[in-house]
Structure 1
Amino acid sequence: MKTRVIVNPMANKGNCGKRWPQIRAELENHLGPLAADDIVMTRARNHGTVLAREAVTAGYRRLISVGGDGTFSEILNGVIADDRLIVPGLVLAQLPGGTSNEFSRSFGQNSLADASRAVASGTTREIDVFRAEARGYAGDQVTRYGFLLAIVGAAATISWRAQRVPLLKRLGPVSYVLMTAFTSLTYTPRAYRIRVDDEAEQTLPMWALLLCSFDGAGEGLMLAPGADPGDCKLDLIMVGDMGRWESLTKIVPRLGDGSYIAHPKVTRRHATRITIDSDQMVQADVDGESIGQLPMSVALLPLRVTVAVNRSAPEAGR
């Protein structure tokens, strides 16, 4: 299978670029020598989307993402148009090189050796894909395809702040810990208008709303324990009307093992479509990247994407 490797050298605070010779050696150990034309580097945010589309146009049918979940998401958006794969028979893969490598973690491919073996083995499975539409910060409509999660509310604010404060961004995972504590002490729940599938619209006060396909996200978070990325359903988790101290002491410390789900103000269910809006400005985030603000709609697509794995079922827990 004609293979292109798309490398994000800035992933994990630039460590991915520094480790690229080691990553390449491990991949070639399992896949064989790579030609110079089979490797491209991203140069800016969303450049992975452009490179993925160019690769498919050039006849490549296996795309290997070297970076984190954000890089994988960019590549995913490069191979889908109008809710369809731009060509059939594509296989996507991830070599973990980012701060967050939830894709690799979920399939037991945390090491470069395991991830490289997954690419070379030919074993694949299908994962779900969703379409998210939101209002961009410039007032335009933004469409983004996602595979991991879509979040709004406090969770999206934490992600946005942690990525955009230069000093914090250099701290990597620590930035999320610091910004989570700060946001919990300052964030006030909003009133949301929510419609799930074909049900009647509800107005609910919430601290955060999460739509998860995988069970984890970020660095060490277990947001939807037991979620299956290929079950044709999204796990909808609504964190209700939380006071600041309550969110800091009862929710935040339990995000690592998923036990926050047991809190009486947290609800969990399955959904395939959701629309959400608010009279206040609320940020919207897909796969760890802020795409804009409410209103946002999320719909699971009938489309599924084939990915390279070492086994067909996701890892249970961590």
Structure 2
Amino acid sequence: MKTRIIVNPMANKGGCGKRWPQIRAGLEKHLGPIDDDDITMTRAPNHATKLAREAVDAGCRRLISVGGDGTFSEMMNGVISDDRLIAPDLVLAQLPAGTSNELCRSFGQLSLGEACKAIAMGHTRDVDVFRADAKGYGGGQVTRYGFVLAIVGAAATISWRAQRVPLLKRLGPISYVLMTAFTSLTYNPRNYRIRIDDEAEQSLPMWSLMLCSFDGAGEGLMLAPGADPGDRKLDLILVGDIGHWETLTRIVPKLGDGSYLAHPKVSRRHASRISIDSDTMVRADVDGESIGQLPMSVTMLPFHLKVAAVNRQ
């Protein structure tokens, strides 16, 4: 299978680039010698999207992302057009070299050796893909394909704040801890208009809304325990009208094990389509990237990605 390796040297605060020789050696141990022409390095945000499209056009049918979930998401967006895969026989893979490696964590292959073994063995898992359409910060529509989660409200504000300040971004996961505490004490719930699947529109006050395909997200977060990334459904979690102190003491500390879901103002259900709007400015985020603001619609697409995974059955 013709393979292209897309490396984000800036992933994990530049740690991916420093570890690349070690990562390459581990990959060659399982796949054999790798030609330099089969390796491409990203040079800017969203460059992996362009590199992935070029790789498929060149006949590659296995693409390996070396970085975190953001790099994998960028690569994935390069192989989808008009809600379809540009080549139906594609296999995608992730080598865990970023701050967050949810795909590898969920499949039990967080070590370099396990991830390389998954690629070499040729086994795959089906992973859902969703489409998110939102209002971009420039005013036009933004479309983004996602595989981990789409979030709005306080959760999206935390992500945006943690990434927009260079000093904070260099702190990695610590920046999210700091911004989570700050946002918990300053962010007020907004009123939303929500339509879930074919149900009637609801008006609800909420602190945050999360659509999860995997059970975890980010560093050490367990947002939707037991979520199945291949069941063609999103786990919709609504965090309701909760005050600042209650959020800081009863929601945030329990995000690591998912026990926040037991709070009476938090609800969870499945959905395949959802539209969200508000009369106030509310940020929207897909797979860790702030894509814009409401209104946003999210739709599960009718196909699966084939992703390299160790067969544990």
Q: State the distance in 2 between where 1:133 and 1:303 align.
A: 18
Secondary structure of 2:284's counterpart equals strand
The aligned residue for residue 280 of structure 1 is 280
Q: State the distance in 2 between where 1:279 and 1:207 align.
A: 15
C-alpha contact 1:61 1:89 (8 A) present in aligned 2: yes
Q: What are the within-5 Å matches in structure 2 for residues 40-51 of structure 1?
A: 40-51=40-51
C-alpha contact 1:124 1:312 (8 A) present in aligned 2: no
Q: Offset at 1:87?
A: 1.1
Q: State the distance in 1 between where 2:297 and 2:123 align.
A: 33
The aligned residue for residue 143 of structure 2 is 143
The aligned residue for residue 160 of structure 2 is 160
Q: State the distance in 2 between where 1:8 and 1:172 align.
A: 16
Q: Deviations over 1:50-83 (max 9, x none)?
A: 0000000000000000000000000000000000
Q: State the distance in 2 between where 1:311 and 1:66 align.
A: 21
Secondary structure of 2:285's counterpart equals strand
Unpaired segments ≥5 residues, structure 1: 314-318
The aligned residue for residue 27 of structure 1 is 27
Q: Deviations over 1:141-162 (max 9, x none)?
A: 0000000000000000000000
Write the letter of the residue equivalent to 1:39.
I
2:167 counterpart of 1:173: no
Secondary structure of 1:53's counterpart equals helix
Q: Offset at 1:311?
A: 2.4
Identity across matched positions, percent: 79
The aligned residue for residue 96 of structure 2 is 96
Q: State the distance in 2 between where 1:100 and 1:160 align.
A: 16
Q: What are the within-5 Å matches in structure 2 for residues 1-318 of structure 1?
A: 1-311=1-311
**TM-score between both structures, scaled by the size of structure 1:** 0.98
In the comparison of the two structures, how many residue pairs are matched?
A: 313
Write the letter of the residue equivalent to 1:134.
A
Q: Offset at 1:304?
A: 1.0
Q: State the distance in 2 between where 1:215 and 1:137 align.
A: 29
Q: Deviations over 1:240-297 (max 9, x none)?
A: 0010001000000000000000100000000000000000000000000000000000
C-alpha contact 1:8 1:17 (8 A) present in aligned 2: yes
Q: Deviations over 1:98-150 (max 9, x none)?
A: 00000000000110000000000011111100000000000010000000000
Structure 1 residue runs of 4 or more that deviate by more than 2 Å after TM superposition:
none
Q: Offset at 1:312?
A: 6.0
Q: State the distance in 2 between where 1:312 and 1:149 align.
A: 25
Q: State the distance in 2 between where 1:178 and 1:104 align.
A: 26
Secondary structure of 1:44's counterpart equals coil
Secondary structure of 2:117's counterpart equals helix
Secondary structure of 2:275's counterpart equals strand
The aligned residue for residue 316 of structure 1 is none
Write the letter of the residue equivalent to 1:197.
D
Q: Offset at 1:303?
A: 1.6
Q: State the distance in 1 between where 2:159 and 2:25 align.
A: 33
C-alpha contact 1:83 1:303 (8 A) present in aligned 2: no
Write the letter of the residue equivalent to 2:260.
Y
Q: State the distance in 1 between where 2:18 and 2:232 align.
A: 38
C-alpha contact 1:132 1:143 (8 A) present in aligned 2: yes
Unpaired segments ≥5 residues, structure 2: none
Write the letter of the residue equivalent to 2:206.
M
Q: State the distance in 2 between where 1:140 and 1:280 align.
A: 17
Q: State the distance in 2 between where 1:24 and 1:191 align.
A: 49
Cα-Cα RMSD: 0.7
C-alpha contact 1:9 1:17 (8 A) present in aligned 2: yes
Secondary structure of 2:40's counterpart equals strand
Q: State the distance in 2 between where 1:6 and 1:218 align.
A: 21
